[in-house]
Amino acid sequence: MAEIELNSGEDAGSVPPARDLPEPTPQPTLSDWQALAAKEVKGAGLNWHTPEGIDVKPLYTAEDVTADPGLPGFAPFTRGVRASMYAGRPWTIRQYAGFSTAEESNAFYRRNLAAGQKGLSVAFDLATHRGYDSDHPRVVGDVGKAGVAIDSVEDMKILFDGIPLDQMSVSMTMNGAVIPILAFFIVAGEEQGVPRAKLDGTIQNDILKEFMVRNTYIYPPEPSMRIIADIIAYTSAEMPKFNSISISGYHMQEAGATQVQELAFTIADGKEYAKAAMAAGLDIDKFAGRLSFFFAIGMNFFMEVAKLRAARRLWHRVMTELGAQDERSKMLRTHCQTSGVSLQEQDPYNNVIRTTVEALAAALGGTQSLHTNALDEAIALPTDFSARIARNTQLVLQEETGITNVVDPLGGSYYVESLTQELVTRAWDIIERVDAEGGMAKAVAAGWPKAMIEEASAARAAAVDKGETVIVGVNKYRPSEDTAVDVLDIDNHAVREAQVRRLEQLRANRDEAAVTAALEALRAGAEGSENLLSLAVDCARARCTLGEISAAMEVAFGRHATKPTPVSGVYGGAYADDLRWERLRDGVDATERRLGRKPRMLVAKMGQDGHDRGANLVSSMFGDLGFEVVPGPLFQTPAEAARLAIDSGVDVVGASSLAAGHKTLIPELIGHLRDAGRADIRVIAGGVIPAQDYQSLRDAGVQAIFGPGTNLINAAEEVLRLLGHNMPPREEAAE
């Protein structure tokens, strides 16, 4: 080290003479910043009012942080459930997939696992979700289309052929037919040589959100809650490595919920399930550590980061109030999936960017596992090409960005900490309302959570259609030419024929006396109080089918059905004083004068697809416009939809399809209308329909097709033209 040279006359023990120092520069204050910012933007306001009702300021300071976030691994776990988080081990890459037959899905899983995927997440087709075997007449258009068809334990064994279930964590998204699916999984493990105590994974088993948004339920709410309690009891005793429930907010956000609503209702659902298990006599600390969660991650980047942090804080509070003593019982562990709703058909390669942003938000929020959507999932199931990009998005984030080297890197951000507290406060207000009204099961039965979500959905759709919420490539920066992408097309007829053949073979070779006895025991158990999963495992060993097991419980429980009740006034309210809206209203009035009544539209949902966001938006918007809307019940066959259209005297049927059944179901609907002599009823189609299918639908008689991202104002103009009203050209109407 260089020696310090002393000035003349100084020695090491003397005090240096005083020197004149410059005055410190005054530090700017918050008011100084406000004045400067206002000057820069010529006095315009800078605050952003989010869909959650949060007034986001352009600048956050230490004064905005009101709660200590603590440390990772310690209560209330705001900064993460593990002290080391990704610095110790990155999140699990768990891609959600399943399509066609068990053989096809098994081959897809093997390819992905060989390429770096770490866990499996199984998507089942809608026939399976709704408790029907593939040969049931109500599921002709659904088999193998939006997931893999599983009719028996034999299908489940093929699904995991060559995949060691004592080494692989398996997540299964199943709610309605959760009893037979979990029974098949247990028996498939047994016959692979893996005892159930070694099975590792998660079953979604979250029925309350099905009644709110996704609608793939089978039984009414009360017996459905009993099923959940039975599964928690069985797995707690027999499957210590298995997560008995994954409480899902994902489908709420996909249905249009704000992040506050998704957060609040998901935590409230979890609280309801914990209370149900406790009411069944289970010790909270014996099962709570195996509860997990599932959230959607959308494009509001910092809001999503804060949402995951707020969820951990809220769950710790809920479980503490319920009496949990073990800190593991109070840890919220979650899987996340990037948003499907944010994906767009238009300019589809932008979806790679969207998924990357959302995946980064999930990681910075502290998820335990993650699925990244493929770029083509706005219109179809992913191809191998698009699935590889989606999976590699996570690999790049883990291996190249450095974000896994620091625990909670956004912790301490004034903005993130403030947003986290804001979300905690607003979500807790909703949770308290749920509690005041008797819990989430009663709130769902009353219908107000579903109505709240549908109002938020309609408000967002109107904001997008008006251009107030920008979607790049859709309502701003549209490309001059559409970009075509190759999509995966499932031959529904071939898949169904293969499944029917396997079912015939199964029934021909099994012991029918054993089948009858097992099903009778299950039916009696459903009418009594025996554990339903335990009885269903016996059914699976006897080679009972999924449909047979579901039907045996249906004898005791009945099958649940609801009628859609679209919200009104939200969409129209957003368009008050809008010139195009007024011209559309004039067009509806003119059509009413010509017909002698309001124009009438049936919004039809055929097949077993319960996703009704699109159908509800169409019903709400056309109702606000002045149409008489007939909201068709869910799960209709084409014959039932045709009969309802004729009996209701509609002018138009709007067929909503989100699960790839359009090529089978819509032409069949048109055929029934023609056979009844009502070819004058116009049929239009909307939803997740690839452009490559448009011509075949037009050839079948569909008169207009509205794909993902369609502006509903434009759709209404087209419908009025079909009804004979001479609408002004779009360019003139937009002046």
What are 526-574's pLDDT values in tens digits? 999 999 999 999 999 999 999 999 999 999 999 998 878 888 888 888 8
Print the domain residue range for 527.
Answer: 500-557
**Among 164, 181, 271, which residue's Cα sits nearest to residue 231?**
181
Co-location of 596 and 540 in the same domain: no
CA triplet 304, 305, 311: central angle to 5 degrees?
A: 85
Co-location of 512 and 630 in the same domain: no
Q: Which residues, in sequence order, are bridge partners of residue 652? A: 601, 682
Co-location of 284 and 429 in the same domain: yes
The pLDDT value given to residue 4:
34
Co-location of 547 and 610 in the same domain: no
Three-state SS for 311-356 is HHHHHHHHHHHCCCCCHHHHCCCEEEEECCCCCCCCCCCHHHHHHH
User: What whole-number percentage of the chain has pLDDT above 90?
Assistant: 70
Alpha carbon distance 294, 339 (integer Å): 12
User: What whole-number percentage of the chain has pLDDT above 70?
Assistant: 95
| Residue 290 belongs to domain with CATH number | 3.20.20.240
For residue 166, is it within any domain? no
Crossing angle for the helix pair 178-191 and 221-238, nearest 10 degrees? 20
Co-location of 536 and 634 in the same domain: no
Residues 571-586, buried b or exposed e (16+ Cβ, 10 A)?
bbebbeebebbebbbe
The pLDDT value given to residue 668:
94
Q: Which residue has the higher pLDDT, 209 or 18?
A: 209
For residue 542, is it within any domain? yes
Q: Which residue has the higher pLDDT, 657 or 408?
A: 408
Q: What is the pLDDT of residues 572-591, one digit of tens each?
A: 888 888 888 999 999 999 99
Among 446, 476, 492, identify where a domain stops.
446
Terminal alpha carbon distance of the chain? 77
The pLDDT value given to residue 561:
86
Q: Please, is 735 exposed, middle or buried when counting C-beta atoms within 10 Å of its C-beta (0-12, 13-18, 19+)? A: exposed
> For strand 55-56 and strand 48-49, is the pairing parallel, antiparallel, or unpaired?
antiparallel
Co-location of 317 and 404 in the same domain: yes
Q: Give the mean pLDDT of 674-687.
A: 95
Strand order in the sheet with 369-371: 242-243, 201-203, 170-172, 119-122, 92-97, 369-371, 334-338, 291-297, 245-248
For residue 430, is it within any domain? yes
The pLDDT value given to residue 574:
85
Q: Give the mean pLDDT of 695-724.
A: 91
The pLDDT value given to residue 1:
37
Catalytic status, residue 251: yes
Asked whether the predicted pLDDT for residue 15 surpasses 90, the reply is no
Asked whether the predicted pLDDT for residue 442 surpasses 80, the reply is yes
Q: What confidence tier does 16 reach under pLDDT thresholds 50, 70, 90? A: low
Asked whether the predicted pLDDT for residue 440 surpasses 90, the reply is yes
Among 446, 465, 490, identify where a domain stops.
446
Catalytic status, residue 560: no
| Residue 645 belongs to domain with CATH number | 3.40.50.280
For residue 148, is it within any domain? no
Q: What is the pLDDT of residues 206-259, one digit of tens each?
A: 999 999 988 999 999 999 999 999 999 999 999 999 988 999 999 999 999 999
Q: Give the mean pLDDT of 641-654.
A: 97
Check 145, 251, 560, 662 and give the catalytic one: 251
Catalytic status, residue 39: no
Q: What is the pLDDT of residues 495-505, one digit of tens each?
A: 899 999 999 99
For residue 295, is it within any domain? yes
Q: What is the pLDDT of residues 139-148, one digit of tens each?
A: 988 898 878 9
The pLDDT value given to residue 19:
64
Q: Give the mean pLDDT of 635-656.
A: 95
Q: What is the pLDDT of residues 101-137, one digit of tens each?
A: 888 889 888 887 887 777 788 989 999 999 999 999 9
- Cis peptide leading into 180, omega within 30 of 0? no
Alpha carbon distance 250, 307 (integer Å): 12
**Among 358, 267, 360, 245, which residue's Cα sits nearest to residue 311?**
267
The pLDDT value given to residue 689:
85
What percent of the chain is helix, strand and coil (3-state, nearest 5)? 50, 10, 40
Among 446, 471, 487, identify where a domain stops.
446
Catalytic status, residue 250: yes
Alpha carbon distance 730, 735 (integer Å): 9
Co-location of 515 and 408 in the same domain: no
The pLDDT value given to residue 469:
92
Check 60, 64, 96, 241 and give the catalytic one: 96
For residue 130, is it within any domain? no
Phi, psi of 191 (to 5 degrees): -80, -10
Check 145, 157, 605, 725 and give the catalytic one: 605
**Among 92, 90, 80, 88, which residue's Cα sits nearest to residue 120?**
92
Q: Please, is 677 exposed, middle or buried when counting C-beta atoms within 10 Å of its C-beta (0-12, 13-18, 19+)? A: exposed
Asked whether the predicted pLDDT for residue 375 surpasses 60, the reply is yes
**Among 729, 458, 418, 434, which residue's Cα sits nearest to residue 568?**
458
Taking the model in full, what pTM does it have?
Answer: 0.88
Q: What is the DSSP letter of 237?
A: H
Catalytic status, residue 605: yes
Check 609, 612, 651, 693 and give the catalytic one: 609
**Among 697, 685, 597, which residue's Cα sits nearest to residue 649?**
597
Q: What is the pLDDT of residues 459-484, one digit of tens each?
A: 999 999 989 999 999 999 999 888 77
For residue 46, is it within any domain? no
Asked whether the predicted pLDDT for residue 735 surpasses 50, the reply is no
CA atoms within 13 Å, Cβ hemisphere of 33? 10
Q: What is the DSSP letter of 623?
A: H
Co-location of 275 and 393 in the same domain: yes
Check 335, 611, 672, 725 and give the catalytic one: 611
The pLDDT value given to residue 43:
53
Q: What is the mean pLDDT of the chain?
A: 90
Check 217, 219, 250, 273 and give the catalytic one: 250
Domain count of the fold of the chain: 3
Co-location of 311 and 383 in the same domain: yes
The pLDDT value given to residue 606:
92
The pLDDT value given to residue 734:
38
Catalytic status, residue 672: no
Co-location of 340 and 373 in the same domain: yes
Co-location of 380 and 273 in the same domain: yes
Co-location of 525 and 577 in the same domain: no
| DSSP string computed for 164-208 | -TTT--EEE--STTHHHHHHHHHHHHHHTT--GGG--EEE----H
Q: Which residues, in sequence order, are bridge partners of residue 654? A: 603, 684
Phi, psi of 553 (to 5 degrees): -75, -30
For residue 342, is it within any domain? yes
CA triplet 125, 130, 135: central angle to 5 degrees?
A: 70
